[in-house]
Amino acid sequence: LIPLAQLFALYVLFFGQYGPGGGFVAGVIWTTSMILTFLVFGLKSPQGRLVEKVLHGDGIGLIIFVGVGGLCLIGGGEFLNYANLEIPGLDAPARRYTGILLAQIGVAVDVAVTGISIVLSLAYHDTEQEYDV
């Protein structure tokens, strides 16, 4: 089930501009697959350690998203105006498609890492605390 969820997340990411989906939904689905990995294998297994290593990519999605917007600015247009991406050999529709896809990848990475970090912070929460009532 985990690989199918990850494959579906990639499908939603790459074909999100043609229908419902996109970066946010793909990130949520990918987070769900990582939560399933955590629940099935636990945090002490190699697969669980992989879930923890995903957290090191926290700023990568933001860098991708802002980088695409910055490339649009360098191309002489507005922030995230994908027609101004300077990609040699691509016409305007292909540049728009590539820009949208790259921005969605950045959003998906940020959503997935944020979701996983929230779940792991809840999982590591000390439940043996005493509360004064």
Instruction: Please name which of 102, 62, 63 lies closest in space to residue 82, comparing C-alpha atoms.
Output: 102
Q: Check pLDDT > 90 for residue 121.
A: no
Q: What number is the average pLDDT over the span 104-129? A: 81
Whether residue 43 contacts residue 52, with contact meaning beta carbons closer than 8 Å, is answered with yes
pTM: 0.82
Domain positions in the chain: 2-123
- 30, containing H or E segment: helix 23-41
Q: Using one digit for the tens of pLDDT, what is the confidence trace for 31-82? A: 999 889 888 887 777 766 777 777 777 789 999 999 999 999 998 889 988 8
